[in-house]
Amino acid sequence: MRATLFIAGRQLWHRKLLNGIAVLGVMLGVLTLIAITGIMRGFQTKFLDTILQISPHVVVFDKTLGDTTPIVDQLLGGPSATAIVRQTSTDRQQRIARPTETVRAMRALEGVAAVAPLVVGSAVASAGSKETPVELRGIDPEVQDVVTPLRSMVVDGQLGGLTGAVDGAMIGHQLADLLGVKVGDNLSCASALGDRVVLRVVAIFETGVAALDKGRIYVATRRAQTILGRGDAIDRIELRLVDPDHAPAVTAQLEALFHYDAESWQETNASMLGVFDQQNMITGLIIGAVLLVGGFGILSIQIMIVLEKRRDIALLKSVGYGSRDVLAIFLTEGAVIAVLGAALGAAAGHFVLAGMRLLKSASGMGYSKPSTFAIYERPIVYVLAFGFAVGVGLLASLVPAWRASRVEPVDVLRGT
């Protein structure tokens, strides 16, 4: 072992330039892996965190599945007389029946943290000469706040204003800018089926998601039903789960029990998650290719060194070193190059990520508000990068090391 380390160490040092290039190759591979993973995963993680913060984990729509009887009707013994009496010609055919009982039943399910009924529709908001289409949401603010924490998004005014003032509205900050209104100002809201209602801005929110910040208005449930002409209908139920990863299973369970179409947050964002998958695959390919290039760097340089050192290998063997000793010497050299390159690459990757944290992302990457880059930096990434690089380095030096160990001293001495 002492001979292996001594000889390998000196040979590495003697060819500083060549081996330095090999170290650089591995270093670049590891740097690329850590930097790209940090930036890509950072963005993805931030995106998902935002989604899970501002969106419900599961949404139940008013669209029924098949002709089967919902579980609430099964429990209560068919549609109640009151529901039939109150049905009018203006009611839509699609609505969630017995929302109070349905919400209560959903809240009792395992893994469900909170349930909020709401009414959602399209409307036009106007203030002065400006008007814009909006998505109007009728909510119970306190209940909805548990499902999608609205209070934390309020940047001006009070969420409680929705409860206190019948005509209160909470609007996105970009919408407020668009309409030129602030807290305390009035705006008008109307839809094709309902009444035009004058609302007073009681709160302004900011989610960081442009589509919501310039296109959504929250009002009390009753007010939304009036504007949208929905009577007392509830057409949507949103759920927050204890574990968001269980959303697909809970969604399936809800559909089976209540026979309403339900959608998990993964389905809602399937296209973006699909893009992430593709991004991760492409990133993996790029990183793998860069590391392989690093590995080929070691391979070619080591092969060159082995060819150049055939006489020295022959000498070592003639003075008693065996094939395993020679194999160990060249594998040690490959391992040292890989470990050194991986360590330097990890350090460089850390510095690059630290630098990225200080930079402002100008565009918000087209989705969220402009902010500093979100960086994903975990020990596991460093461990994986290090392990992968050392593995590639050892594999790359295996072929030249094996060739070195096969050198027959007598062939070299004879000059063949």
Partner 1 sequence: MTSAIAAAAAPAAALAAPSLEARALVRDLGDEVKTRILHGIDLAIAPGEFVSVTGPSGSGKSTLLYLLGALDRPTSGDVLIEGVSTVGLDDRARGALRGERLGFVFQFHFLLPEFTALENVIIPMLRRRDIPRADARARALAVLDQLGIGELGGRRPTQLSGGQQQRVSIARAIAHGPRILLADEPTGNLDSAAGEAVLGIFETLVRDRGMTIVMVTHEPSYARRAQREIRLRDGRIVEIATGAPATVTTR
- Residue 159: HSE in the Cβ half-sphere, 13 Å Cα cutoff: 18
Choices 16-24, 150-158, 232-240, 315-323; region in contact with partner 1 by CB under 8 A: 315-323
Minimum separation from the CB atom of position 406 to partner 1 (A): 10
Q: Which of these, 209, 165, 173, lies nearest to 48 by C-alpha position?
A: 209
11 is a site residue for partner 1 (CB under 8 A): yes
Residue 136's contacts (CB-CB under 8 Å, 6 or more residues apart) are 120, 121, 122, 123, 189, 191, 217, 219, 224, 227, 228
> Using CB under 8 A, which of 84, 319, 359, 362 touches partner 1?
319
69 is a site residue for partner 1 (CB under 8 A): no
Q: Could you tell me which residues are beta bridge partners of residue 305?
A: none
Choices 9-17, 92-100, 113-121, 157-165; region in contact with partner 1 by CB under 8 A: 9-17
256 or 413: whose CB is closer to partner 1?
A: 413
Minimum separation from the CB atom of position 45 to partner 1 (A): 49
Minimum separation from the CB atom of position 380 to partner 1 (A): 39
> Using CB under 8 A, which of 94, 186, 318, 371 touches partner 1?
318
> Using CB under 8 A, which of 18, 22, 314, 343 touches partner 1?
314
Choices 3-11, 59-67, 113-121, 283-291; region in contact with partner 1 by CB under 8 A: 3-11
Per-residue DSSP letter, 200: E
> Using CB under 8 A, which of 156, 167, 261, 325 touches partner 1?
325
Residue ranges of E strands in 57-196: 58-64, 112-127, 130-139, 154-157, 168-172, 186-190
Minimum separation from the CB atom of position 312 to partner 1 (A): 5
CA dist., res. 164 & res. 274, Å (int): 42
Residue ranges of E strands in 287-416: 360-361, 371-372
CA dist., res. 320 & res. 322, Å (int): 6
14 is a site residue for partner 1 (CB under 8 A): yes
Per-residue DSSP letter, 153: G
Identity of residue 381: V
Could you tell me the two tokens for 47? 């995106």
CA dist., res. 410 & res. 69, Å (int): 89
Measured CA to CA in angstroms, residue 65 lies from 156, 261, 262 at distances of 41, 6, 10
320 or 379: whose CB is closer to partner 1?
A: 320
11 or 50: whose CB is closer to partner 1?
A: 11
10 or 81: whose CB is closer to partner 1?
A: 10
CA dist., res. 372 & res. 155, Å (int): 19
271 or 416: whose CB is closer to partner 1?
A: 416
Per-residue DSSP letter, 10: H
Residue 204: exposed, middle, or buried by beta-carbon count in 10 A (0-12, 13-18, 19+)?
Answer: buried
Number of residues that bind partner 1 (CB under 8 A): 26
> Using CB under 8 A, which of 268, 323, 339, 369 touches partner 1?
323
Q: Which of these, 194, 177, 182, lies nearest to 229 by C-alpha position?
A: 194
Identity of residue 311: R
Minimum separation from the CB atom of position 317 to partner 1 (A): 6
128 or 322: whose CB is closer to partner 1?
A: 322
Minimum separation from the CB atom of position 27 to partner 1 (A): 24
Minimum separation from the CB atom of position 14 to partner 1 (A): 4
> Using CB under 8 A, which of 66, 78, 320, 379 touches partner 1?
320
Minimum separation from the CB atom of position 388 to partner 1 (A): 31
321 is a site residue for partner 1 (CB under 8 A): yes
108 or 414: whose CB is closer to partner 1?
A: 414
Residue 388 · residue 380 · CB < 8 Å = no
312 is a site residue for partner 1 (CB under 8 A): yes
Q: Could you tell me which residues are beta bridge partners of residue 64?
A: 260
Measured in Å, how far apart are the chain's first and last C-alpha atoms?
31
317 is a site residue for partner 1 (CB under 8 A): yes
Minimum separation from the CB atom of position 32 to partner 1 (A): 32
Residues at the interface with partner 1 (CB under 8 A): 2-3, 6-7, 10-11, 13-14, 311-312, 314-325, 409-410, 413-414
